[in-house]
A = this chain, B = another copy of it.
Amino acid sequence: MDTYSAPLRDIRFVLEHVTPLSELTALEDLAHAESDLVAGLLEEAGRFAAQAIAPTNREGDQEHSRLVDGEVKTPESFKRVYQQYVEAGWGAVQHPAEFGGGAFPLTVANAVKEMITSANMSFSLGPLLTTGAVYLMTHHASDEQQQTYLSKMVSGEWAGTMNLTEPQAGSDVGATTTKAEPADDGTYRITGQKIYITYGEHDLTDQIVHLVLARLPDAPPGTKGLSLFIVPKYLMNEDGSLGERNDVQVVSLEHKLGIHASPTCVMAYGENSDGAVGELVGEPNDGMRLMFRMMNDARLGVGLQGLAISERAYQQALDYAKERRQGRGPTSEPGEQAPIIEHADVRRMLLTMKAYIDAMRGLTYANAHALDLAEHHPEEAVRDQQQKLADLLTPLSKAWCTDLGVELTSLAIQVHGGMGYVEETGVAQHFRDARIAPIYEGTNGIQALDLVGRKLPYDGGAFVKGVLEDIRAEVEALPDACSDIAERLAAAVDELAQTTEWLFAHRDTINDVLAGATPYLRMFATVVGGWQLAKAAAAAQQLLDDGDTGTFSEDFLQAKLTLARFYATQLLPQVHGLAPSVTAGADDLYAVTAEQLAP
Protein backbone atom coordinates (compact mmCIF):
# COMPACT_ATOMS: atom_id res chain seq x y z
CA MET A 1 0.00 0.00 0.00
CA ASP A 2 1.32 3.40 -0.90
CA THR A 3 1.28 5.19 2.44
CA TYR A 4 3.99 7.42 3.85
CA SER A 5 5.51 7.64 7.31
CA ALA A 6 7.64 10.66 8.07
CA PRO A 7 11.19 9.38 8.73
CA LEU A 8 11.51 11.55 11.83
CA ARG A 9 14.11 9.37 13.54
CA ASP A 10 16.41 9.50 10.52
CA ILE A 11 15.95 13.24 10.16
CA ARG A 12 16.49 13.88 13.85
CA PHE A 13 19.63 11.76 13.84
CA VAL A 14 21.13 13.88 11.07
CA LEU A 15 20.15 17.14 12.78
CA GLU A 16 21.55 16.00 16.12
CA HIS A 17 24.64 14.07 15.10
CA VAL A 18 25.68 14.60 11.46
CA THR A 19 25.11 18.25 10.56
CA PRO A 20 24.30 19.42 14.07
CA LEU A 21 21.59 21.96 14.50
CA SER A 22 23.37 22.93 17.70
CA GLU A 23 26.07 24.61 15.60
CA LEU A 24 23.34 26.84 14.21
CA THR A 25 21.46 27.57 17.42
CA ALA A 26 24.78 28.60 18.96
CA LEU A 27 24.53 31.69 16.73
CA GLU A 28 22.61 34.68 18.02
CA ASP A 29 20.48 34.93 14.86
CA LEU A 30 19.23 31.38 15.22
CA ALA A 31 19.26 30.88 18.97
CA HIS A 32 15.48 30.74 19.02
CA ALA A 33 15.41 27.53 16.97
CA GLU A 34 16.00 25.41 20.03
CA SER A 35 15.96 21.70 19.74
CA ASP A 36 12.66 20.95 21.50
CA LEU A 37 10.87 23.53 19.42
CA VAL A 38 12.35 22.08 16.23
CA ALA A 39 11.53 18.53 17.26
CA GLY A 40 7.92 19.52 17.86
CA LEU A 41 7.76 21.40 14.57
CA LEU A 42 9.10 18.43 12.62
CA GLU A 43 6.73 16.02 14.29
CA GLU A 44 3.81 18.23 13.45
CA ALA A 45 5.02 18.64 9.85
CA GLY A 46 5.52 14.90 9.56
CA ARG A 47 1.98 14.28 10.75
CA PHE A 48 0.58 16.83 8.31
CA ALA A 49 2.59 15.38 5.42
CA ALA A 50 1.69 11.79 6.18
CA GLN A 51 -1.94 12.19 7.14
CA ALA A 52 -3.22 15.16 5.16
CA ILE A 53 -1.02 15.42 2.04
CA ALA A 54 0.14 11.89 1.27
CA PRO A 55 -3.37 10.57 0.54
CA THR A 56 -3.80 13.22 -2.21
CA ASN A 57 -0.86 11.95 -4.24
CA ARG A 58 -2.38 9.28 -6.40
CA GLU A 59 -5.66 11.14 -6.76
CA GLY A 60 -3.77 14.18 -8.06
CA ASP A 61 -1.88 12.01 -10.52
CA GLN A 62 -5.10 10.67 -11.96
CA GLU A 63 -7.08 13.89 -11.86
CA HIS A 64 -4.29 16.12 -13.28
CA SER A 65 -4.44 19.91 -13.23
CA ARG A 66 -6.62 20.97 -16.14
CA LEU A 67 -7.08 24.07 -18.24
CA VAL A 68 -10.76 25.02 -18.37
CA ASP A 69 -11.81 28.28 -20.06
CA GLY A 70 -8.46 29.92 -19.45
CA GLU A 71 -8.41 28.90 -15.78
CA VAL A 72 -6.33 26.11 -14.26
CA LYS A 73 -8.26 23.70 -12.06
CA THR A 74 -6.03 21.86 -9.63
CA PRO A 75 -7.27 18.58 -8.13
CA GLU A 76 -10.10 19.04 -5.63
CA SER A 77 -8.10 17.65 -2.74
CA PHE A 78 -5.33 20.19 -3.31
CA LYS A 79 -7.55 23.14 -2.43
CA ARG A 80 -8.48 21.66 0.92
CA VAL A 81 -4.94 20.64 1.80
CA TYR A 82 -3.41 23.91 0.60
CA GLN A 83 -5.79 25.79 2.89
CA GLN A 84 -4.55 23.71 5.81
CA TYR A 85 -0.98 24.34 4.70
CA VAL A 86 -1.53 28.09 4.81
CA GLU A 87 -3.38 28.02 8.12
CA ALA A 88 -0.62 26.02 9.79
CA GLY A 89 2.01 28.36 8.34
CA TRP A 90 4.17 25.64 6.75
CA GLY A 91 5.24 27.97 3.96
CA ALA A 92 6.58 30.51 6.44
CA VAL A 93 9.11 28.33 8.28
CA GLN A 94 12.31 29.67 6.69
CA HIS A 95 11.25 33.26 6.03
CA PRO A 96 12.11 36.37 8.07
CA ALA A 97 10.05 37.23 11.11
CA GLU A 98 9.38 40.75 9.85
CA PHE A 99 7.05 39.35 7.20
CA GLY A 100 5.48 36.84 9.51
CA GLY A 101 7.95 34.04 8.88
CA GLY A 102 9.26 31.54 11.39
CA ALA A 103 12.90 32.59 10.84
CA PHE A 104 13.98 28.98 11.25
CA PRO A 105 17.24 27.79 9.73
CA LEU A 106 17.00 26.57 6.15
CA THR A 107 18.15 23.20 7.47
CA VAL A 108 14.92 22.90 9.44
CA ALA A 109 12.75 24.29 6.65
CA ASN A 110 14.27 21.77 4.25
CA ALA A 111 13.40 18.90 6.56
CA VAL A 112 9.81 20.11 6.37
CA LYS A 113 10.10 20.39 2.57
CA GLU A 114 11.50 16.88 2.34
CA MET A 115 8.45 15.44 4.09
CA ILE A 116 5.92 17.49 2.14
CA THR A 117 7.62 16.49 -1.12
CA SER A 118 7.59 12.81 -0.18
CA ALA A 119 3.92 13.17 0.56
CA ASN A 120 3.08 14.72 -2.81
CA MET A 121 5.73 16.05 -5.16
CA SER A 122 3.20 17.74 -7.47
CA PHE A 123 1.66 19.56 -4.55
CA SER A 124 5.04 20.61 -3.17
CA LEU A 125 6.06 22.45 -6.32
CA GLY A 126 3.70 25.39 -5.82
CA PRO A 127 5.11 26.17 -2.37
CA LEU A 128 8.65 25.56 -3.63
CA LEU A 129 8.29 28.25 -6.27
CA THR A 130 6.66 30.67 -3.84
CA THR A 131 9.52 30.10 -1.42
CA GLY A 132 12.04 30.87 -4.16
CA ALA A 133 10.22 34.06 -5.07
CA VAL A 134 10.06 35.17 -1.44
CA TYR A 135 13.74 34.38 -0.98
CA LEU A 136 14.65 36.54 -3.96
CA MET A 137 12.36 39.40 -3.01
CA THR A 138 13.52 39.38 0.60
CA HIS A 139 17.05 40.02 -0.62
CA HIS A 140 16.49 42.25 -3.64
CA ALA A 141 13.05 43.86 -3.82
CA SER A 142 12.50 47.46 -2.71
CA ASP A 143 10.97 48.19 0.68
CA GLU A 144 7.75 49.15 -1.03
CA GLN A 145 7.65 45.95 -3.04
CA GLN A 146 8.36 43.93 0.08
CA GLN A 147 5.60 45.69 1.98
CA THR A 148 3.17 45.17 -0.86
CA TYR A 149 3.75 41.49 -1.46
CA LEU A 150 5.80 39.62 1.06
CA SER A 151 3.53 39.06 4.04
CA LYS A 152 0.89 37.32 2.00
CA MET A 153 3.48 35.34 0.04
CA VAL A 154 5.17 34.23 3.25
CA SER A 155 1.86 33.06 4.64
CA GLY A 156 1.09 31.28 1.38
CA GLU A 157 -2.11 33.25 0.79
CA TRP A 158 -0.45 34.43 -2.41
CA ALA A 159 1.81 32.38 -4.64
CA GLY A 160 4.99 33.22 -6.53
CA THR A 161 6.44 31.89 -9.78
CA MET A 162 9.71 32.01 -11.70
CA ASN A 163 9.55 32.87 -15.42
CA LEU A 164 12.84 32.23 -17.19
CA THR A 165 12.48 29.75 -20.00
CA GLU A 166 11.42 30.55 -23.56
CA PRO A 167 11.31 28.20 -26.54
CA GLN A 168 14.74 29.31 -27.78
CA ALA A 169 16.10 29.99 -24.29
CA GLY A 170 16.29 26.87 -22.12
CA SER A 171 19.74 26.14 -20.69
CA ASP A 172 20.77 29.17 -22.76
CA VAL A 173 18.96 31.80 -20.65
CA GLY A 174 20.87 34.59 -22.39
CA ALA A 175 18.77 33.99 -25.52
CA THR A 176 15.69 35.41 -23.75
CA THR A 177 13.66 37.77 -25.96
CA THR A 178 10.71 38.79 -23.75
CA LYS A 179 10.61 42.58 -23.85
CA ALA A 180 10.11 45.23 -21.18
CA GLU A 181 9.29 48.80 -22.26
CA PRO A 182 9.39 51.61 -19.70
CA ALA A 183 6.03 53.34 -19.21
CA ASP A 184 5.51 56.93 -18.07
CA ASP A 185 4.46 55.97 -14.57
CA GLY A 186 7.71 54.20 -13.71
CA THR A 187 6.32 50.74 -14.42
CA TYR A 188 7.11 48.60 -17.47
CA ARG A 189 5.11 46.88 -20.18
CA ILE A 190 6.12 43.23 -20.58
CA THR A 191 5.50 41.33 -23.84
CA GLY A 192 6.52 37.82 -24.75
CA GLN A 193 5.96 34.15 -24.08
CA LYS A 194 7.40 31.95 -21.37
CA ILE A 195 7.27 28.15 -21.26
CA TYR A 196 7.56 25.45 -18.58
CA ILE A 197 6.21 27.79 -15.91
CA THR A 198 5.44 25.64 -12.89
CA TYR A 199 2.16 26.69 -11.27
CA GLY A 200 2.07 29.64 -13.69
CA GLU A 201 -1.69 29.68 -13.17
CA HIS A 202 -3.86 27.86 -10.64
CA ASP A 203 -6.81 28.21 -8.29
CA LEU A 204 -5.07 27.77 -4.94
CA THR A 205 -4.48 31.46 -4.20
CA ASP A 206 -6.16 34.79 -4.96
CA GLN A 207 -3.01 36.37 -6.29
CA ILE A 208 0.02 35.04 -8.18
CA VAL A 209 3.21 37.09 -8.21
CA HIS A 210 5.26 36.32 -11.31
CA LEU A 211 8.97 37.06 -11.37
CA VAL A 212 9.87 37.51 -15.03
CA LEU A 213 13.18 37.85 -16.83
CA ALA A 214 12.90 40.29 -19.73
CA ARG A 215 15.03 42.56 -21.84
CA LEU A 216 14.91 46.38 -21.71
CA PRO A 217 15.24 48.37 -24.94
CA ASP A 218 18.91 48.66 -25.91
CA ALA A 219 19.97 46.10 -23.32
CA PRO A 220 23.25 44.32 -24.14
CA PRO A 221 22.90 40.82 -25.63
CA GLY A 222 23.14 37.68 -23.54
CA THR A 223 22.63 37.25 -19.83
CA LYS A 224 24.07 40.69 -19.10
CA GLY A 225 21.05 42.32 -20.67
CA LEU A 226 18.35 40.64 -18.61
CA SER A 227 16.29 42.50 -16.04
CA LEU A 228 13.92 41.11 -13.45
CA PHE A 229 10.30 42.20 -13.09
CA ILE A 230 7.42 41.58 -10.73
CA VAL A 231 4.29 40.96 -12.79
CA PRO A 232 1.28 40.31 -10.53
CA LYS A 233 -1.75 38.45 -11.85
CA TYR A 234 -3.91 41.24 -10.41
CA LEU A 235 -2.65 44.80 -10.26
CA MET A 236 -2.43 46.13 -6.73
CA ASN A 237 -4.66 48.97 -5.55
CA GLU A 238 -3.07 51.59 -3.37
CA ASP A 239 -4.86 50.26 -0.29
CA GLY A 240 -3.30 46.83 -0.81
CA SER A 241 -6.43 45.24 -2.22
CA LEU A 242 -6.44 43.42 -5.54
CA GLY A 243 -7.26 45.56 -8.56
CA GLU A 244 -7.67 44.91 -12.25
CA ARG A 245 -6.55 41.73 -13.98
CA ASN A 246 -3.08 42.18 -15.48
CA ASP A 247 -2.45 41.05 -19.06
CA VAL A 248 -0.76 37.74 -18.22
CA GLN A 249 -2.54 34.59 -19.34
CA VAL A 250 -1.97 30.88 -19.36
CA VAL A 251 -2.03 29.67 -22.97
CA SER A 252 -1.77 25.91 -22.47
CA LEU A 253 -0.61 23.17 -20.13
CA GLU A 254 1.97 20.53 -21.00
CA HIS A 255 1.00 16.85 -21.02
CA LYS A 256 3.83 15.35 -19.10
CA LEU A 257 5.29 11.99 -18.15
CA GLY A 258 4.65 12.74 -14.48
CA ILE A 259 3.88 15.43 -11.89
CA HIS A 260 0.46 15.51 -13.54
CA ALA A 261 -1.15 17.56 -10.82
CA SER A 262 1.45 20.32 -11.13
CA PRO A 263 0.33 22.71 -13.88
CA THR A 264 3.25 23.36 -16.26
CA CYS A 265 2.15 26.45 -18.13
CA VAL A 266 2.86 28.32 -21.31
CA MET A 267 2.39 31.96 -20.26
CA ALA A 268 1.66 34.91 -22.53
CA TYR A 269 2.54 38.42 -21.43
CA GLY A 270 0.85 41.43 -22.99
CA GLU A 271 -1.01 39.63 -25.73
CA ASN A 272 -4.17 41.72 -25.40
CA SER A 273 -2.64 45.10 -24.71
CA ASP A 274 0.59 47.03 -25.01
CA GLY A 275 2.03 44.76 -22.36
CA ALA A 276 1.53 43.29 -18.92
CA VAL A 277 2.32 45.80 -16.17
CA GLY A 278 5.59 44.99 -14.44
CA GLU A 279 7.77 46.54 -11.76
CA LEU A 280 11.55 46.41 -11.99
CA VAL A 281 13.32 44.51 -9.21
CA GLY A 282 16.81 45.79 -8.41
CA GLU A 283 18.84 47.48 -11.11
CA PRO A 284 18.32 47.28 -14.88
CA ASN A 285 20.30 44.46 -16.55
CA ASP A 286 21.02 42.89 -13.19
CA GLY A 287 18.30 40.23 -13.39
CA MET A 288 20.58 37.26 -13.88
CA ARG A 289 22.63 38.05 -10.79
CA LEU A 290 19.45 38.30 -8.73
CA MET A 291 18.25 34.99 -10.08
CA PHE A 292 21.57 33.38 -9.20
CA ARG A 293 21.01 34.53 -5.64
CA MET A 294 18.02 32.26 -5.27
CA MET A 295 19.49 29.48 -7.34
CA ASN A 296 21.33 27.69 -4.54
CA ASP A 297 18.09 27.58 -2.61
CA ALA A 298 16.04 26.41 -5.60
CA ARG A 299 18.58 23.85 -6.81
CA LEU A 300 18.95 22.43 -3.35
CA GLY A 301 15.15 22.29 -3.22
CA VAL A 302 15.13 20.18 -6.38
CA GLY A 303 17.89 17.99 -4.98
CA LEU A 304 15.62 17.38 -2.00
CA GLN A 305 13.00 16.10 -4.43
CA GLY A 306 15.36 13.29 -5.44
CA LEU A 307 15.76 12.38 -1.79
CA ALA A 308 12.07 12.76 -0.99
CA ILE A 309 10.68 10.72 -3.87
CA SER A 310 13.26 8.00 -3.21
CA GLU A 311 12.18 7.83 0.43
CA ARG A 312 8.53 7.52 -0.58
CA ALA A 313 9.25 4.78 -3.13
CA TYR A 314 11.58 3.00 -0.74
CA GLN A 315 8.94 2.83 1.97
CA GLN A 316 6.50 1.32 -0.47
CA ALA A 317 9.04 -1.24 -1.70
CA LEU A 318 9.95 -2.18 1.86
CA ASP A 319 6.30 -2.70 2.79
CA TYR A 320 5.75 -4.84 -0.27
CA ALA A 321 8.88 -6.91 0.34
CA LYS A 322 7.67 -7.67 3.86
CA GLU A 323 4.20 -8.74 2.69
CA ARG A 324 4.79 -10.48 -0.62
CA ARG A 325 5.69 -14.14 -0.38
CA GLN A 326 7.50 -15.97 -3.18
CA GLY A 327 9.96 -18.85 -3.17
CA ARG A 328 12.02 -20.21 -0.28
CA GLY A 329 14.21 -17.99 1.84
CA PRO A 330 17.49 -19.09 3.42
CA THR A 331 15.65 -20.32 6.52
CA SER A 332 12.14 -21.19 5.32
CA GLU A 333 10.56 -24.63 5.59
CA PRO A 334 10.00 -26.77 2.49
CA GLY A 335 6.75 -25.84 0.80
CA GLU A 336 6.54 -22.52 2.61
CA GLN A 337 6.78 -19.25 0.71
CA ALA A 338 9.05 -16.70 2.38
CA PRO A 339 8.51 -12.92 2.36
CA ILE A 340 10.68 -11.72 -0.49
CA ILE A 341 12.67 -9.52 1.88
CA GLU A 342 14.34 -12.78 2.91
CA HIS A 343 15.94 -13.14 -0.53
CA ALA A 344 19.47 -11.75 -0.81
CA ASP A 345 18.85 -9.98 -4.08
CA VAL A 346 15.77 -8.15 -2.74
CA ARG A 347 17.76 -7.17 0.35
CA ARG A 348 20.45 -5.79 -1.94
CA MET A 349 17.87 -3.57 -3.63
CA LEU A 350 16.41 -2.37 -0.33
CA LEU A 351 19.77 -1.67 1.29
CA THR A 352 20.98 0.10 -1.81
CA MET A 353 17.96 2.37 -1.64
CA LYS A 354 18.22 3.00 2.06
CA ALA A 355 21.98 3.63 2.04
CA TYR A 356 21.69 6.11 -0.82
CA ILE A 357 18.75 7.80 0.87
CA ASP A 358 20.77 8.30 4.04
CA ALA A 359 23.68 9.58 1.96
CA MET A 360 21.44 12.01 0.08
CA ARG A 361 19.93 13.24 3.32
CA GLY A 362 23.43 13.79 4.69
CA LEU A 363 24.50 15.72 1.60
CA THR A 364 21.43 17.93 1.26
CA TYR A 365 21.22 18.72 4.96
CA ALA A 366 24.94 19.54 5.01
CA ASN A 367 24.29 21.79 2.04
CA ALA A 368 21.53 23.65 3.90
CA HIS A 369 23.68 23.79 7.02
CA ALA A 370 26.41 25.55 5.04
CA LEU A 371 23.88 28.02 3.63
CA ASP A 372 22.64 28.77 7.14
CA LEU A 373 26.15 29.42 8.40
CA ALA A 374 26.89 31.53 5.32
CA GLU A 375 23.93 33.71 6.11
CA HIS A 376 24.04 33.89 9.88
CA HIS A 377 27.56 33.40 11.19
CA PRO A 378 28.97 36.53 12.81
CA GLU A 379 32.46 36.14 11.29
CA GLU A 380 32.85 37.16 7.70
CA ALA A 381 35.62 34.63 7.06
CA VAL A 382 33.37 31.81 8.18
CA ARG A 383 30.45 33.14 6.16
CA ASP A 384 32.68 33.31 3.12
CA GLN A 385 34.00 29.75 3.54
CA GLN A 386 30.55 28.36 4.18
CA GLN A 387 29.11 30.14 1.16
CA LYS A 388 31.81 28.54 -0.95
CA LEU A 389 31.09 25.16 0.55
CA ALA A 390 27.38 25.59 -0.17
CA ASP A 391 28.22 26.66 -3.73
CA LEU A 392 30.31 23.53 -4.17
CA LEU A 393 27.72 21.19 -2.68
CA THR A 394 24.71 22.63 -4.53
CA PRO A 395 25.37 21.06 -7.96
CA LEU A 396 26.08 17.77 -6.18
CA SER A 397 22.78 17.95 -4.30
CA LYS A 398 20.82 18.90 -7.39
CA ALA A 399 22.31 16.45 -9.89
CA TRP A 400 23.26 13.44 -7.84
CA CYS A 401 20.09 13.28 -5.78
CA THR A 402 17.86 13.69 -8.81
CA ASP A 403 19.73 11.06 -10.83
CA LEU A 404 19.45 8.74 -7.86
CA GLY A 405 15.77 9.64 -7.60
CA VAL A 406 15.22 8.06 -11.01
CA GLU A 407 17.45 5.07 -10.27
CA LEU A 408 15.97 4.30 -6.87
CA THR A 409 12.33 4.71 -7.88
CA SER A 410 13.18 2.28 -10.68
CA LEU A 411 14.56 -0.16 -8.11
CA ALA A 412 11.36 0.25 -6.10
CA ILE A 413 9.40 -0.83 -9.17
CA GLN A 414 11.71 -3.81 -9.57
CA VAL A 415 11.10 -4.96 -5.99
CA HIS A 416 7.40 -5.09 -6.88
CA GLY A 417 7.88 -7.31 -9.93
CA GLY A 418 4.85 -7.26 -12.23
CA MET A 419 2.83 -5.28 -9.70
CA GLY A 420 5.33 -2.45 -10.04
CA TYR A 421 4.37 -1.92 -13.67
CA VAL A 422 0.66 -1.66 -12.90
CA GLU A 423 -0.35 1.96 -12.26
CA GLU A 424 -2.81 1.12 -9.46
CA THR A 425 0.10 0.04 -7.27
CA GLY A 426 1.30 3.65 -7.22
CA VAL A 427 5.04 3.02 -7.35
CA ALA A 428 5.22 3.72 -11.09
CA GLN A 429 3.97 7.25 -10.35
CA HIS A 430 7.06 7.93 -8.24
CA PHE A 431 9.26 6.82 -11.15
CA ARG A 432 7.37 9.11 -13.55
CA ASP A 433 7.38 12.02 -11.12
CA ALA A 434 11.08 11.59 -10.32
CA ARG A 435 12.09 11.87 -13.97
CA ILE A 436 11.57 15.65 -14.19
CA ALA A 437 14.05 16.51 -11.47
CA PRO A 438 17.26 15.86 -13.47
CA ILE A 439 15.89 18.26 -16.08
CA TYR A 440 14.50 21.41 -14.50
CA GLU A 441 16.26 24.10 -12.49
CA GLY A 442 19.36 23.60 -14.65
CA THR A 443 19.78 20.17 -16.26
CA ASN A 444 22.18 17.84 -14.53
CA GLY A 445 24.62 18.42 -17.37
CA ILE A 446 24.53 22.13 -16.54
CA GLN A 447 25.15 21.27 -12.87
CA ALA A 448 28.26 19.32 -13.84
CA LEU A 449 29.56 22.24 -15.91
CA ASP A 450 28.83 24.56 -12.99
CA LEU A 451 30.86 22.27 -10.73
CA VAL A 452 33.97 22.03 -12.91
CA GLY A 453 33.73 25.44 -14.56
CA ARG A 454 32.68 27.74 -11.70
CA LYS A 455 33.18 25.96 -8.39
CA LEU A 456 36.48 24.11 -8.75
CA PRO A 457 38.35 27.31 -9.63
CA TYR A 458 37.43 28.97 -6.27
CA ASP A 459 40.65 30.31 -4.72
CA GLY A 460 42.65 28.94 -7.63
CA GLY A 461 41.65 25.41 -6.64
CA ALA A 462 42.71 25.77 -3.02
CA PHE A 463 39.15 25.69 -1.78
CA VAL A 464 38.19 22.31 -3.17
CA LYS A 465 41.51 20.84 -2.13
CA GLY A 466 40.83 22.09 1.37
CA VAL A 467 37.48 20.32 1.38
CA LEU A 468 39.15 17.07 0.34
CA GLU A 469 41.70 17.54 3.13
CA ASP A 470 38.88 18.06 5.60
CA ILE A 471 37.31 14.79 4.51
CA ARG A 472 40.65 13.02 4.82
CA ALA A 473 41.11 14.37 8.33
CA GLU A 474 37.67 13.11 9.33
CA VAL A 475 38.40 9.73 7.81
CA GLU A 476 41.59 9.46 9.84
CA ALA A 477 39.68 10.31 13.01
CA LEU A 478 37.11 7.54 12.51
CA PRO A 479 36.95 5.04 15.38
CA ASP A 480 38.63 1.65 14.98
CA ALA A 481 35.24 -0.02 14.73
CA CYS A 482 34.76 1.83 11.44
CA SER A 483 38.04 0.72 9.87
CA ASP A 484 36.29 -0.91 6.86
CA ILE A 485 34.61 2.38 6.15
CA ALA A 486 37.77 4.41 6.72
CA GLU A 487 39.84 2.29 4.37
CA ARG A 488 37.39 2.48 1.47
CA LEU A 489 36.65 6.13 1.99
CA ALA A 490 40.33 7.04 2.07
CA ALA A 491 40.86 5.22 -1.23
CA ALA A 492 37.87 6.99 -2.75
CA VAL A 493 39.06 10.42 -1.62
CA ASP A 494 42.48 9.68 -3.12
CA GLU A 495 40.87 8.75 -6.41
CA LEU A 496 38.78 11.91 -6.34
CA ALA A 497 41.81 14.02 -5.51
CA GLN A 498 43.73 12.56 -8.45
CA THR A 499 40.96 13.27 -10.92
CA THR A 500 40.64 16.77 -9.46
CA GLU A 501 44.36 17.30 -10.10
CA TRP A 502 43.88 16.07 -13.65
CA LEU A 503 41.08 18.59 -14.21
CA PHE A 504 43.25 21.43 -12.91
CA ALA A 505 46.15 20.29 -15.07
CA HIS A 506 43.90 20.44 -18.14
CA ARG A 507 42.16 23.74 -17.47
CA ASP A 508 43.74 25.25 -20.59
CA THR A 509 41.94 22.76 -22.81
CA ILE A 510 38.56 23.49 -21.33
CA ASN A 511 36.70 20.96 -23.46
CA ASP A 512 38.71 18.14 -21.87
CA VAL A 513 37.46 19.38 -18.52
CA LEU A 514 33.86 19.71 -19.70
CA ALA A 515 34.01 16.22 -21.24
CA GLY A 516 34.63 14.69 -17.81
CA ALA A 517 32.22 16.89 -15.87
CA THR A 518 29.30 14.47 -15.48
CA PRO A 519 31.24 11.42 -14.24
CA TYR A 520 33.31 13.77 -12.04
CA LEU A 521 30.17 15.13 -10.39
CA ARG A 522 28.96 11.60 -9.76
CA MET A 523 32.32 10.67 -8.21
CA PHE A 524 32.42 13.74 -6.05
CA ALA A 525 28.87 13.32 -4.77
CA THR A 526 29.40 9.62 -4.13
CA VAL A 527 32.39 10.48 -1.95
CA VAL A 528 30.55 13.25 -0.10
CA GLY A 529 27.67 10.84 0.48
CA GLY A 530 30.13 8.33 1.94
CA TRP A 531 31.63 11.06 4.09
CA GLN A 532 28.24 11.92 5.57
CA LEU A 533 27.48 8.26 6.25
CA ALA A 534 30.88 7.86 7.90
CA LYS A 535 30.04 10.78 10.19
CA ALA A 536 26.76 9.09 11.00
CA ALA A 537 28.54 5.80 11.71
CA ALA A 538 31.11 7.47 13.95
CA ALA A 539 28.35 9.19 15.90
CA ALA A 540 26.39 5.95 16.23
CA GLN A 541 29.49 4.10 17.42
CA GLN A 542 30.20 6.85 19.95
CA LEU A 543 26.69 6.65 21.37
CA LEU A 544 26.95 2.87 21.61
CA ASP A 545 30.37 3.07 23.24
CA ASP A 546 29.07 5.63 25.73
CA GLY A 547 26.34 3.21 26.66
CA ASP A 548 23.92 6.13 26.58
CA THR A 549 22.09 6.10 23.28
CA GLY A 550 19.67 8.84 24.27
CA THR A 551 16.42 8.76 22.37
CA PHE A 552 17.86 6.40 19.71
CA SER A 553 17.57 2.67 20.17
CA GLU A 554 20.60 0.45 19.92
CA ASP A 555 18.96 -1.26 16.96
CA PHE A 556 18.64 2.03 15.12
CA LEU A 557 22.29 2.90 15.72
CA GLN A 558 23.49 -0.55 14.68
CA ALA A 559 21.57 -0.14 11.43
CA LYS A 560 23.37 3.17 10.81
CA LEU A 561 26.68 1.35 11.17
CA THR A 562 25.60 -1.40 8.80
CA LEU A 563 24.30 1.04 6.19
CA ALA A 564 27.50 3.07 6.28
CA ARG A 565 29.60 -0.07 5.92
CA PHE A 566 27.40 -1.38 3.09
CA TYR A 567 27.73 1.94 1.27
CA ALA A 568 31.48 2.19 1.80
CA THR A 569 32.26 -1.37 0.79
CA GLN A 570 29.68 -1.92 -1.97
CA LEU A 571 28.54 1.38 -3.47
CA LEU A 572 31.41 3.80 -2.91
CA PRO A 573 33.91 1.69 -4.94
CA GLN A 574 32.04 2.77 -8.07
CA VAL A 575 34.19 5.90 -8.00
CA HIS A 576 37.11 3.78 -9.19
CA GLY A 577 35.08 2.75 -12.21
CA LEU A 578 34.18 6.36 -12.99
CA ALA A 579 37.63 7.92 -12.75
CA PRO A 580 38.86 6.77 -16.18
CA SER A 581 36.01 8.57 -17.91
CA VAL A 582 36.74 11.80 -16.03
CA THR A 583 40.32 11.81 -17.26
CA ALA A 584 39.72 10.52 -20.77
CA GLY A 585 39.57 13.97 -22.35
CA ALA A 586 37.35 15.14 -25.18
CA ASP A 587 39.15 13.59 -28.15
CA ASP A 588 37.09 10.44 -28.55
CA LEU A 589 33.87 12.39 -28.01
CA TYR A 590 34.71 14.55 -31.02
CA ALA A 591 36.27 11.80 -33.15
CA VAL A 592 32.91 11.05 -34.73
CA THR A 593 30.62 13.29 -36.72
CA ALA A 594 26.86 13.42 -36.43
CA GLU A 595 26.71 11.53 -39.74
CA GLN A 596 28.90 8.75 -38.39
CA LEU A 597 26.59 8.40 -35.42
CA ALA A 598 23.47 8.05 -37.53
CA PRO A 599 21.97 4.66 -38.47
Q: Interface on A for B, CB 8 Å cutoff?
A: 5-10, 165, 168, 170-172, 175, 195-196, 221-222, 254-258, 311, 315, 318, 321-322, 325-327, 330, 335, 337, 339, 341, 343-351, 354, 406, 410, 413-414, 417-418, 420-424, 428, 431-432, 435-436, 438-440, 443-445, 448-449, 511, 514-515, 517-518, 555-556, 558-559, 562-563, 565-566, 569-571, 573-581, 584, 586, 588-599
Contacts and interface: CB of A to CB of B under 8 A. Distances in A.
Contacts of A597: 318, 350-351, 354, 559
Contacts of A6: 599
Contacts of A170: 326, 417-418
Nearest to A484: B588
Kindly name the residue among A556, A576, A597 whose own CB sees the greatest number of chain B CB atoms within 10 A: A597
A445 B559 contact: no
A591 B311 CA distance: 21
Given A170-B326, A170-B417, A171-B327, 20 more contacts: A6-B599, A168-B337, A171-B326, A172-B326, A175-B337, A255-B423, A255-B424, A330-B511, A344-B515, A344-B586, A345-B445, A348-B518, A349-B445, A351-B589, A351-B592, A413-B439, A414-B445, A558-B591, A570-B588, A573-B580
A417 to B, nearest CB: 5
Contacts of A565: 588
Contacts of A9: 599
A341 B594 contact: yes
Contacts of A327: 171-172
Given A318-B598, A327-B171, A257 B354 contact: no
A562 B588 contact: yes
Contact of A351 (B222, B255, B428, B588): B588
Contact of A578 (B222, B577, B590): B577
Nearest to A7: B599
Given A171-B417, A318-B598, A570 B584 contact: yes
Contacts of A515: 344-345, 347-348
11 contacts: A9-B599, A255-B424, A348-B589, A351-B597, A428-B435, A558-B596, A562-B591, A570-B580, A570-B581, A571-B581, A574-B578
B423 A257 contact: yes
Nearest to A429: B257
